[in-house]
Chain A
Amino acid sequence: MWQYVVRRVVGAVFVLWLVSVIVFTIVRALPGDAIIAKVGEAGRITPEQMEAAREELGLDKPLVVAYLDWAGGLARGDLGDSYIYDGVSVSSRIFDSLVPTIQLGLMAAFVGLPFALGLGAIAALRQDTWLDYPVRMVAVLGISVPNFVLATALITFLAYQFNYAPPFGWVPFWEDPVTNLKILYLPVLLLGFTFSGSLMRMMRSSILEVMRQDYVRTARAKGLNPWTVFRMHTARNALISVTTLLGFQVVALLSGSLIMEIIFAIPGVGRMTLQAINLRDYPQIMGNTMFFATVVVFTNLAVDIAYAALDPRVKYS
């Protein structure tokens, strides 16, 4: 087991190193002058900031040296400095916008998970009935309706019917919980809904799969009541395969959060990333991309390890 954990951790670090090479290559694929021209395109940049940009990106150094500088900083947790915001480090800006994103993501997961797992299970237990079809429909809609379309349509409808106006500005939860939740309830529900679509389908299909297993039939045959069979055998085993989807769900939450943050003016990491892209703040873009990838890689790592620890059938090879 420990050997497995160590090997997975090494694998994760290797993947993150590759991500850093990819991210660096994307930004440095352009010749230095072109990058500086891009920075200039964003406008509102003083000559000093331009010089800072040149220095921060290591445009005066050979590629390999510039990469080693940047990656060395990464390894020490130093993502460099934003050249749009004077003297502000990339990591401190990520840190400052983390809370809204985490709150939005966690609340959406908290709403979406029970919704998805519950409905998915009900649909499977009542396969091909009037309970199954609507759930399948909802799940397919959750996957197919783009979240920005749903959000825009809902806002328009609420504005038309109830004079709803999307929030302006942001209030942290600990300063004013009521206002905070008033800002967040709509994005949380929307994100929770789009997040639950694929999860609902996965839950439904894996319960259907497990229900046909011999051990479930045995449990029924020996006279256990159906609820106990479901709780002790079906649901437990179905959840194992649902867990593997968790890594993808974190990606879905991160990208979904980005859209919600922009539509509802929430100052999270996603909105900050888009801002950095519009300003061509390359150190910030690189830092944020690394940050997102790190979250995803470590979630997957945690899922894999938990999976191996929970499911005795998983081989550590």
Chain B
Amino acid sequence: MTAELQPTAGHTGAAISQAGLGPSQPGLLRRQWSVWRRKPIGFGSLLFIVFLLVVAAAGPALATHDPLQNDLRAVLAGPSADHFFGTDSNGRDVYSRIVHGARLSLFVGFASVIFGITGAVVVGLVSGYAGGTVDYLIQRVTDAVMAIPGLILLLALVSVLEPSLLNLVIALCIVVMPGTIRVVRAEVLVAKEYDYVLAAHALDASSRRIVVRHVLPNVMAPILILGSVVVGTAILIEASLSFLGLGVPPPAPTWGNMLSGPNRQYMASAPWLVIFPGLAITLAVLAFNMLGDALRDIFDPRLRGR
């Protein structure tokens, strides 16, 4: 098993430096380009994500209206030069609400992934490297958290926590951690057996040094791949939660709550109420999933096209 998996790490390591994550060398941009050129969909997704980040960062500057401002003279107006994506049943500008919603969705997505994955990497490293009882207990706890369907666990968590952005991120972290812990642990179990790790042991290097210098780099590629997919998942779950009315409370514009509430009854006559927020959620989730696929192909050429 180990012998069979070892070449993978060779590939992965090579791919990492190929992808420009290794020590920086001249021609970095050119080498990046030569990798991404062969992944048009992945590259497109990356560009779209950058675009979303710009929209989220520029937020208010891009909005044409106050996203909370009711305008009773323009209730349920169709898309026009004044209201690019039309208006909702309160006469609020859909385009401006989506632009503001992007900031929240991306913030929630990235924050929960950064905190969740950092925590998961630490726990996964400890679990895989320590082994024994510690490992067994950590694994059973992750089993237990994973046994509760993510959405149900989140619902239970938000029923107790005060509704706020911070609590939403904390709850999402708890939901995304177990899967990542498992992946990290599996990688650690493989990396632990490499000759250079054994050599480091023989040289009496401290556990901390071995884990940080020799094991962790092996785990980086799968984390990057998983990270991309998990940002998409977090955005999707946040949207589902706001759709159910349990996310960041209205009137704050979120992509999810634009599809629920009083707007629902007007959708058949005002389809822009569905189309634009629906597209925003779908394209964002799709882009992160496709980027994850591309990263997996780049880091592990054996899986190319699977």
Q: Which residues of A approach B to under 8 Å, CB–CB?
A: 11, 14-16, 18-19, 21-23, 26-27, 29-30, 38, 127-128, 140-141, 143-146, 148-149, 152-153, 155-157, 159-160, 204-205, 208-209, 251, 254-255, 258-259, 262, 273-274, 277, 280, 282, 285-286, 288-289, 292-293, 296-297, 300
Q: How far is the CB of A293 from chain B (nearest CB, A)?
A: 4
With A and B bound together, what is the CA distance between A277 and B163 in angstroms? 13
Name which residue of chain A comes closest to B269, CB basis: A160
Chain A residues lying within 8 Å of B140, measured Cβ to Cβ, are 11, 14-15, 18
The answer on a CB contact under 8 Å between B152 and A273 is yes
Q: How far is the CB of A54 from chain B (nearest CB, A)?
A: 17
Q: For the complex, is B286 an interface residue (Cβ under 8 Å from A)?
A: yes
Q: For the complex, is B151 an interface residue (Cβ under 8 Å from A)?
A: yes
The answer on a CB contact under 8 Å between A19 and B147 is yes
The answer on a CB contact under 8 Å between B285 and A274 is no
Chain A residues lying within 8 Å of B240, measured Cβ to Cβ, are 146, 148, 259
- A140 touches which one: B144, B155, B157, B289 (CB < 8 A)? B289
4 more contacts with CB within 8 A, not counting A15-B140, A145-B286, A160-B269, are A29-B160, A140-B286, A148-B256, A149-B281
Within 8 A of A (CB), among B138-167: 140-141, 143-153, 155-160
With A and B bound together, what is the CA distance between A29 and B158 in angstroms? 12
The answer on a CB contact under 8 Å between A26 and B305 is no
Q: For the complex, is B44 an interface residue (Cβ under 8 Å from A)?
A: no
Q: For the complex, is B232 an interface residue (Cβ under 8 Å from A)?
A: yes
Q: For the complex, is B114 an interface residue (Cβ under 8 Å from A)?
A: no
Q: How far is the CB of A207 from chain B (nearest CB, A)?
A: 10
Encode contact with A along B253-288: 1 for CB under 8 Å, 0 otherwise: 000100100001001110100110010011001100
The answer on a CB contact under 8 Å between B246 and A277 is yes
- B259 touches which one: A15, A127, A149, A159 (CB < 8 A)? A149
With A and B bound together, what is the CA distance between A23 and B148 in angstroms? 9
Chain A residues lying within 8 Å of B256, measured Cβ to Cβ, are 148
- A152 touches which one: B144, B146, B158, B259 (CB < 8 A)? B259
Q: How far is the CB of B70 from chain A (nearest CB, A)?
A: 23
Chosen A-B contacts, 22 in total, with CB atoms closer than 8 Å, are: A16-B147, A127-B305, A128-B305, A140-B289, A146-B236, A146-B239, A148-B256, A156-B271, A157-B271, A160-B268, A160-B271, A205-B306, A258-B151, A259-B151, A259-B240, A273-B155, A289-B156, A292-B149, A293-B144, A293-B147, A293-B148, A300-B147
Q: How far is the CB of B254 from chain A (nearest CB, A)?
A: 13
The answer on a CB contact under 8 Å between B144 and A285 is no
Chain A residues lying within 8 Å of B275, measured Cβ to Cβ, are 153
Q: For the complex, is B56 an interface residue (Cβ under 8 Å from A)?
A: no
Chain B interface helix/strand/loop/mixed? helix
With A and B bound together, what is the CA distance between A254 and B152 in angstroms? 9
Chain A residues lying within 8 Å of B293, measured Cβ to Cβ, are 140
Chain B residues lying within 8 Å of A262, measured Cβ to Cβ, are 244
- B244 touches which one: A38, A156, A274, A292 (CB < 8 A)? A274
The answer on a CB contact under 8 Å between A153 and B148 is no
With A and B bound together, what is the CA distance between A140 and B229 in angstroms? 12
With A and B bound together, what is the CA distance between A160 and B160 in angstroms? 40
Which of B147, B259, B271 has most chain A Cβ within 10 Å? Answer: B147
The answer on a CB contact under 8 Å between B159 and A280 is yes
With A and B bound together, what is the CA distance between A289 and B155 in angstroms? 10
Chain A residues lying within 8 Å of B147, measured Cβ to Cβ, are 15-16, 19, 293, 296-297, 300
With A and B bound together, what is the CA distance between A148 and B258 in angstroms? 12
Name which residue of chain A comes closest to B285, CB basis: A144
Q: For the complex, is B106 an interface residue (Cβ under 8 Å from A)?
A: no
Chain B residues lying within 8 Å of A300, measured Cβ to Cβ, are 147
Chain A residues lying within 8 Å of B144, measured Cβ to Cβ, are 15-16, 18-19, 21-22, 293
